[in-house]
Structure 1
C-alpha cells in the first residue's frame, strides 16, 4: 500500500489551452523549440502559434527540427549543441512523445559535458551523475501516448549499440505541460491507435505490476477506463473531441502511473524490437506483443482479480474470468483496426528473437523486476514467437 508521490508539473488541460501559454510564468527568456523532422507541426500552424505565444510572453525562440520517431543519441547531441550556440535557457517540446523525450535529453546535454550515454544507468551507459541540472522544460503535447509531458523520464536509442533505454530523474519533470486537445485533431487514425495503446499499456502494466499501490491503482484504473472506452472512437473520427479529450486525460494519468508505480517487462520486450528496427512505432510494437504477453501472466494466476477488474473498466461489465480481459482487449484492437499488425512488415524475423530477448533483459532489464512472475529468456522468446505474424 505504500507509495511515494512527487509530480510537480503544472498541467493546463483542455481544448484551446495553447492560447494560455503567454500568460504563464515561463522559466527563461530564450527558448529552444524542439519539433519533429516531419511537416505536420508547421503545416498545421502549431509551430507558428507556439512562437507567437512565446513572443507575447517576451521570449525569443529558435527551432530545432530534426527529431525522428524513436529519437536517437546523435540527434540529441546535435540539438544540445544548437541550444548552446544560441544561448537558450529553456527548452519547449512541441510534438509527441519522441519530441518530448528528445527535448528532455537535449536539456541534459545542453548544460553537461561528454556524451549522453555517460549519464545512462544501464547497458553500456557509464552511470555518471548528471552534474548540472538540465535546462527547464515546457512540454506542449500534440499526441496522447507516452505521458512524457508530465513525467520524469525520457527514452533514447543508441543505434551503435542497439540500446533503447530510459533516463529518469526528477529534474526532467517539465515545469509546464500544455495538453491542448485541439492540437491532436490532425493525428491520423493509425497513429492515434498506436499512441493510445502506448498510454493504455502504461496503466495496464502498472495495474498488474508487483509494485502496484493505492495511488498507482487509482490513476491506472481510471486511465484504463478513459482510454479503453474512448480510443476506438478517436481512431474512427479524429474530430470527435469528446473521445480525444478522454484519451488525452487517460494519457496524462498513465504518465503519473509511471511516477508513483512502474510499468513492466512488456516495455522492455518492445524496446528491444524497435531498438533493432527504428521504423517500428513503439505503440505498434506493444500492440503486437500485448495478447501473448498478458496471456502469459494470466496463465500463472498471480493476479486474476486485477485482470477481471481491468476487463470491467474497459467495458465488459459482466467479466468473471481473467481471460475476459484478453477478449475485451482483442475487441479494442479490432475496433481500432490494429488487430492484425505484422512484425514481418517491419523486417523483423524470428531468427532475431534470441538476441532481442537478451537485449530486453540487458539494457532494459530493470523492468523485469517489476513483474509478478519472473520471465526467463525462453519465456521472452516464446512471447515473441506467439506474437509473430
Structure 2
C-alpha cells in the first residue's frame, strides 16, 4: 500500500515555487565572464578556486578576461576539496581581510562553488559560519542583507551547485556533513563551458556523474509539493517537493545520462559526451534545487564525514575521503527499493529512462536498483558501503549522522525512521 497516504494534509499546498540562475552554456562561455561582470557593475572581484584547478590555469585565464574589462580580479586558490567548516572559515577570513569585494567568481567543482557561496554570505552579512548552518547542527539563521553577485563556473560535471541554493560542508568535530540552505545563496549567473571538463579524470567523472543521477532520481521521487501543509509565502523553502517543472528537468537529465555517462568515463576525450554530461548536471541541478533530494543524500553525509582510510581513484591522496557523489550513490539502490511503493510508476519510469533496452524484472521494486548497480559497476563505483571501509559495527554511527539531516529527509516520499536507515545501510554494505 502506498505510504504517501501518510502525507495527506487537511489543507494541502497548492503553490510551488521555482528558482534558477541565469545560464550561459557552450564552448567558450567562460571567456565572456568579464563582459557579464561589467554588466553587473562589478569593479573588484575575487575568483575562488582550488589548487588543482589553478594548476591547470583556468582561473587565471578567467581572471585575465575579467581584467580586460577594467575590473580588478584576484585569485584565491585555497579551496579544500570536500569543504569543511575550517576550510570555509579560512576562505571567509581571507575575503574579509582582503576585501571589500563587489562580486565573486567560483571556478571549479562543487567545492569551489560552495566555498564561494559561504564567502559571499559571510562577507555581506554579520555573524559566524555556524550561525547559518542548518539546524540542529547550526542555528539556521537567514541572511539579513542581500548578497553580492556570484558567477559559478563548474569545471566538473556533477554537483549542480551552480544552480542551487545549497552550500555543503563537513563539520569536523561532529564528523558529519551538513549545509547552509537559503535562496540568497543561488548564483546570479551559471557559466557552463563543456570545454573546461574535458581534462576531468575518469574517477572524478564517475563520482560526480553519480551525483547527477541521484539529484535527478531523488528530485523525481521526492514528496509531491501537494503533500505538504499549505504555507504562507514567507514560510516556503527552496526545497518544495516534486513538481511539474522539476520533473521535466529530472527526466531530461536522466535521458542525457543514459547515453553519455559511460562514454564520458571511459572515453574522456569524447566532446559530445562531455557536453551532454555538463547539460545533465545543470538540468539535474535545476530540478533538485527546487524539488529537493532525500535519503541517498542524507546517508551520504555521514559516509563522507566519518571516512576512515579510503582514498578514491583520481582524487588527491593526501587525506582520506569519500567524494560526495560516490557517497550518495552507495546507498541509492537500497534507498530506492525502500521508496518504491510510494510511487511505483515514477521509479519504473526513471529506470526505463536510464536503461530503455532493459526488460522489467518480475520484482518491479528491483528494476531501478538493478539498473543503478549495473551502471555503478560499469563506471567503477565501489561495491557498497563496505568497499569504502565500513562494516556492520559502523551502522549505528552512520544512522546517527543520517537522521540528523532532517532538512533533506523531509523531502523523502515516506517517513524514514532510524530502523529504516539501519536496514538500508546494512543492505548497502555490498551491492553485488
Q: TM-score range by the shorter chain?
A: over 0.9
Select 1:329's aligned residue among 341, 364, 372.
Answer: 372
Partner of 2:173: helix, strand, or coil?
coil
Partner of 1:140: helix, strand, or coil?
strand
Match of 2:304?
274
Match of 1:292?
334
Contact kept? 1:5, 1:259, Cα under 8 Å = no
Contact kept? 1:3, 1:260, Cα under 8 Å = no
Contact kept? 2:91, 2:119, Cα under 8 Å = yes
Select 1:367's aligned residue among 380, 402, 408.
Answer: 408
Q: Indicate whether 1:71 and 2:83 are aligned.
A: yes
Give me the whole-angstrom Cα distance separating, in 2, the residues matched to 1:125 and 1:132. 19
Contact kept? 1:34, 1:64, Cα under 8 Å = yes
What pairs with 1:233-248 in structure 2 (closer than 5 Å)? 233-248=263-278
Match of 2:394?
352
Contact kept? 1:279, 1:346, Cα under 8 Å = no
Shifted more, 118-127 versus 89-98: the winner is: 118-127
Match of 1:252?
282
Partner of 1:160: helix, strand, or coil?
helix
**Post-superposition shift, 1:27?**
5.0
Summarize the Cα distance change of 1:318–1:356 in structure 2 as closer, same or farther, 3 Å threshold.
Answer: closer
Contact kept? 1:140, 1:177, Cα under 8 Å = yes
Match of 1:378?
419
**Post-superposition shift, 1:344?**
4.6
Select 1:48's aligned residue among 46, 60, 71.
Answer: 60
Summarize the Cα distance change of 1:27–1:8 in structure 2 as closer, same or farther, 3 Å threshold.
Answer: farther
Contact kept? 1:209, 1:370, Cα under 8 Å = yes
Contact kept? 1:122, 1:165, Cα under 8 Å = no
Contact kept? 2:54, 2:77, Cα under 8 Å = no
Report how many residues are paired. Answer: 383
Give me the whole-angstrom Cα distance separating, in 2, the residues matched to 1:3 and 1:229. 34
Contact kept? 2:331, 2:385, Cα under 8 Å = no
Tell me the alpha carbon deviations over residues 250-285 of structure 1, each in whole angstroms, 9 at most, x when there is no partner: 111111112331211211111111122261101111
User: How does the TM-score come out when normalised to structure 2?
Assistant: 0.84
Partner of 1:313: helix, strand, or coil?
helix
Give me the whole-angstrom Cα distance separating, in 1, the residues matched to 2:280 and 2:47. 26
Partner of 1:110: helix, strand, or coil?
helix
**Post-superposition shift, 1:317?**
4.5
Shifted more, 237-246 versus 67-76: the winner is: 67-76
**Post-superposition shift, 1:183?**
0.5
Moved over 6 A (4+): none
Tell me the alpha carbon deviations over residues 10-55 of structure 1, each in whole angstroms, 9 at most, x when there is no partner: 111112211222221245211111111x33x233221221111111
Contact kept? 2:176, 2:304, Cα under 8 Å = no
Tell me the alpha carbon deviations over residues 37-76 of structure 1, each in whole angstroms, 9 at most, x when there is no partner: x33x233221221111111122212222222222011222
Match of 1:86?
98
Give me the whole-angstrom Cα distance separating, in 1, the residues matched to 2:261 and 2:327. 17
Give me the whole-angstrom Cα distance separating, in 2, the residues matched to 1:100 and 1:341. 29
Unaligned runs of 5+ in 2: 1-12, 225-241, 308-319
What pairs with 1:209-248 in structure 2 (closer than 5 Å)? 209-211=222-224, 212-248=242-278
Contact kept? 2:252, 2:280, Cα under 8 Å = yes
Match of 1:14?
26
Give me the whole-angstrom Cα distance separating, in 1, the residues matched to 2:220 and 2:212. 13
The CA RMSD measured in Å over matched residues stands at 1.9
Match of 2:187?
174
Give me the whole-angstrom Cα distance separating, in 1, the residues matched to 2:385 and 2:79. 24
Give me the whole-angstrom Cα distance separating, in 1, the residues matched to 2:41 and 2:154. 18
Match of 2:217?
204
Select 1:160's aligned residue among 173, 177, 180.
Answer: 173
Match of 2:115?
102
User: How does the TM-score come out when normalised to structure 1?
Assistant: 0.93
Contact kept? 1:305, 1:322, Cα under 8 Å = no
